[in-house]
Amino acid sequence: MKQYPTAHINAEPGDFAPTVLMPGDPLRSKFIAENYLTDPKLVNNVRGVQGYTGTYQGKRVSVMASGMGMPSIGIYSHELFSVFGVENIIRVGSAGALSTDIHVRDIVIGMGASTDSGFAANFNLPGTFAPICSYSLLEKCVACAKDVQATYHVGNLLSSDIFYRDDETANARWSKMGIMAVEMESAALYMNAARLRKNALCICTVSDHIVTGEEISAEERQTSFGEMIQLALETAIRV
């Protein structure tokens, strides 16, 4: 029997919409709710991880923070999927570019999520699992990106457990395998979605370039993130 609330989400059945946007930062969750949703209602605030449900263009949509890293998004996505009836999670965040074909302010959409994490060991598989997004969400997102004429790239991300990497050669080795950009959450999200037969997608704005050193200011970052949030919301209402 499902138990409400869970250890990390103090909510009731029906509090969350079928589609949830997940930024890492709780304050960004609050920002999205207050600036993009109509009549947002706070439905979770355990540990300051704020979750809201409102409407966007007449359709119910939720937004809740995931925290940083795969262990954190692994907890929240699992509980949303398995306990609260959520069907689709769209991660919205930032990424550091590795490809010279990608620039800051561009949007990267994770068709796949390679990883240096041991998260897949939890599933006790007799081989290597390839975390991929849900094609239905990807197809809708790309169509939306074309409609709004966003500068976007679709491909493989690296979900890393490590932010301050000691091995300075690692990024070049990932880059030669076609990795577009590095972030820290999508592989765990994709694996949970696969295990629980749900849908997931990661959309990130490139906030800095790991190879060239290019980066954008905090003010520019907020403006660039606005395009990504709009893209995620437009995708959400097409689900």
Element (H, E) at 62: strand 59-64
Q: Which helix (H) or strand (E) holds 53?
A: strand 51-56
In angstroms, the CA 94 to CA 222 distance is 11
The burial class, CB within 10 Å (0-12 / 13-18 / 19+), for 45 is middle
Q: How far apart are CA 111 and CA 131, in angstroms?
A: 9
Q: Catalytic residue at 166?
A: no
Asked whether the CA dihedral 7, 12, 18, 24 is positive or negative, the reply is negative
Cα separation of 228 and 225, whole Å?
Answer: 5
Q: How far apart are CA 133 and CA 112, in angstroms?
A: 6
User: DSSP letter at 123?
Assistant: G
Please identify which of the residues 25, 116, 161, 208 carries the catalytic annotation.
208
Residues that are catalytic: 208
